[in-house]
Structure 1
Amino acid sequence: MRSPARWLAVVTMTLLTSAGTGALAPAQAEAPTTFTGTTSSARNLDTAPVGRYVALGDSYAAGPLVPVQTGRPAGCMRSTNNYPQVLARSSGFGQVTDVSCSGATTEDMTAPQQVHLGPNPPQLDALDGSESLVTVTIGGNDIGFGEIIAECSRRSSQNLFGAACKDFYTADGEDQLAERIEETAPKVAAVLSGIRDRAPAARVAVVGYPTILPDEGPGCYPVAPFSAGDTAYLRETEKRLNAMLAGQAAAAGVDFVDTYTPTIGHDICTLPGVKWVEGLVPTSPAAPVHPNAQGMRAMAAATGAVLGIPVAPPPAQPVRAAAG
């Protein structure tokens, strides 16, 4: 069995880069990725009949390493098969503008994000009031997604019979990750307020995060290098993050898309071809611990179900990898 320590450093660098800590010096900004469809309105949306769709968000919207990468800018690792683009191809919108960017935080909604061959302009600058739909996936990097996965992989692998990662983040008697989520809530609220100010006629949907670890059970070490105790802790942390996003969406009077529930059974512990979120060592093109093309389609289908846009989900049945 190959020890996680042998490849953890390489995986961590890839993960942290997609989570926003690998930014390079700024370069000339390039235009956001925009696609033009064949009609001028969205089907099944109770919004303005003429408009466009703007997609905002982090790597869970952008689709790092999922083919085909747009390279505009390269550091955003934005895919033509991320969930916004899959949704757009089913919607009939006349124009789609995708400014999602790997590593984005709530701050990058109103400030340039420095990435390789970037920067990516402030994402809210893509809004001009002509939008019929705006989707946004944000918050994971505000709580330190890449750092959490790397830290928990390292600590948990050293103590498989405890919950070393949980112990680390709760050492002072307070759950640091729960506190981070609480601190991120007003930042998400500010983003939603900014969207409403700039796109007052748009339907707005906050798209949550899909199932990363099994919804129940001890996990699947070493495929997912976390102890049973830490698997449970990380699972509950993701649920807490999604609950916060749902709460902020409700408070703002916008839609929330639950992508967690429809992706249960397709987590990183399932077999290649079945999993919709890749593990620390991906078996299909995607960044570590991020949705692959099937996962992006599943997120698009969940979003479409809320918006009234039919999107065919990926065909797969849950099959779990063996632990050990």
Structure 2
Amino acid sequence: MRTTKLRWVLSALLAASALSVGLVQPASAAAAAGERYVALGDSYSSGVGAGSYLSDSGDCQRSSKAYPSLWAAANAPASFAFTACSGATTSTVRSGQLTPLTSSTTLVSVTAGGNDVGFADVMQTCVLQSEATCVNAVNNAVAQVNGTLPGSLSSLYGAIRSRAPRARVVVLGYPRFYRLNGSCIAGLSETERAAINRGSDALNAMLAKQAANAGFAYSSVVDEFTGHEICSGSAWLHSLTVPVSNSYHPNATGHSGGYLPAFRSTV
């Protein structure tokens, strides 16, 4: 009698567990299907370096393999506007990418700030000039991170919130570029690589601070890219390459294995 009762109780618990799983899964799918998603930002959101660029994106180089496209393809939101563009700054995101945002927008992602502090110029300096000049260029960029960038980010984030007052806004950071003491046997010195990583850390810290000030979510990608930096032997980032525009940007795996999980974890 006790054995029969125990089996009945176990069966009931298993049935209840199966029912609860069945209820949770459609609710999650329904929530994703109801999203009205707008993807803003610079080349780290548009997908430069990932290939498979959308024919209508021109010089913005928006990719079907970029994390916004991947998330939209997997979740089939009610609407998806992809306005991120290579070379964008906080100012050009604010002036040229916000049109799709409305009071009905429910989800926004954005990467911006690297171009404001001269990311491309710093990398060019480090590749072409001396170690001391490289370190000085990084230090100058960090000074801009702590000086002018906070106001620029505040203006952008305020404009996003004004146009999309109900949206969950996710600010994503940038990866550290280099695995120190890694597999690279040529190229930049360890001092230069360490300086560039410090610059990335400073930028990410400011993005996190300003996102919190705006009431936005911040998602770091540093953990996802750890073990997949340049000089790791399994890089998800291009080093100096052809075309040059791909250099120091995530490849397709960097978006699917790095940025997409980081974004998904906050949605």
Q: TM-score, normalised by structure 1?
A: 0.68
Q: Residue 201 of structure 1: CA displacement?
A: 0.8
Percent of matched pairs sharing the same residue:
33
Distance in structure 2 (CA, Å) of the matches to 1:50 and 1:221: 50
Distance in structure 2 (CA, Å) of the matches to 1:150 and 1:83: 26
Q: Where do 1:171-250 residues align within 5 Å?
A: 175-182=139-146, 183-214=148-179, 216-217=180-181, 220-222=184-186, 225-250=187-212
Q: Where do 1:81-120 residues align within 5 Å?
A: 81-111=65-95
Corresponding residue number in structure 2 for 1:278: 238
Corresponding residue number in structure 1 for 2:98: 124
Alpha-carbon RMSD: 2.4
Q: Residue 44 of structure 1: CA displacement?
A: 8.3
Q: Residue 92 of structure 1: CA displacement?
A: 3.3
Corresponding residue number in structure 1 for 2:118: 144
Distance 1:218 1:263, change over 3 A: closer
Distance in structure 1 (CA, Å) of the matches to 2:216 and 2:30: 17
Residue type of the alignment partner of 1:108: T
Distance in structure 2 (CA, Å) of the matches to 1:306 and 1:51: 14
Aligned with 1:260 (options 213, 222, 229): 222
Alignment check: 8 A CA contact 1:110 1:124 kept: yes
Distance in structure 2 (CA, Å) of the matches to 1:276 and 1:99: 24
Corresponding residue number in structure 2 for 1:18: none
Q: Residue 91 of structure 1: CA displacement?
A: 2.6
Alignment check: 8 A CA contact 1:69 1:78 kept: yes
Aligned with 1:57 (options 7, 23, 41): 41
Corresponding residue number in structure 1 for 2:247: 288
Listed as ranges, the gaps of 5+ residues in structure 1 are 1-40, 112-121, 308-324
Q: Once superposed, which parts of structure 1, at least 4 consecutive aligned residues long, lie more than 6 Å away? A: none
Partner of 1:97: helix, strand, or coil? strand
Distance 1:55 1:42, change over 3 A: farther
Distance in structure 1 (CA, Å) of the matches to 2:255 and 2:211: 21
Partner of 2:109: helix, strand, or coil? strand
Distance 1:211 1:76, change over 3 A: same
Residue type of the alignment partner of 1:128: T
Alignment check: 8 A CA contact 1:42 1:92 kept: no
Partner of 2:266: helix, strand, or coil? helix
Distance in structure 2 (CA, Å) of the matches to 1:280 and 1:179: 25
Corresponding residue number in structure 2 for 1:169: 137
Alignment check: 8 A CA contact 1:67 1:79 kept: yes
Corresponding residue number in structure 2 for 1:251: 213
Distance in structure 1 (CA, Å) of the matches to 2:30 and 2:157: 23
Residue type of the alignment partner of 1:245: L
Distance in structure 1 (CA, Å) of the matches to 2:253 and 2:158: 32
Structure 1 range deviating more: 82-91 or 100-109: 82-91
Alignment check: 8 A CA contact 1:59 1:104 kept: yes
Distance in structure 1 (CA, Å) of the matches to 2:134 and 2:242: 22
Distance in structure 1 (CA, Å) of the matches to 2:107 and 2:28: 9
Listed as ranges, the gaps of 5+ residues in structure 2 are 1-26
Alignment check: 8 A CA contact 1:206 1:245 kept: yes
Matched, 1:74 2:62: no
Is the helix fraction higher in 1 or 2?
Answer: 2
Partner of 2:39: helix, strand, or coil? strand
Q: Residue 81 of structure 1: CA displacement?
A: 1.0
The structure number with the bigger radius of gyration is: 2
Q: Deviations over 1:64-83 (max 9, x none)?
A: 24231113231101101101
Distance in structure 1 (CA, Å) of the matches to 2:126 and 2:28: 43
Residue type of the alignment partner of 2:59: G
Q: Residue 227 of structure 1: CA displacement?
A: 1.0
Aligned with 1:299 (options 236, 259, 266): 259
Alignment check: 8 A CA contact 1:278 1:288 kept: yes
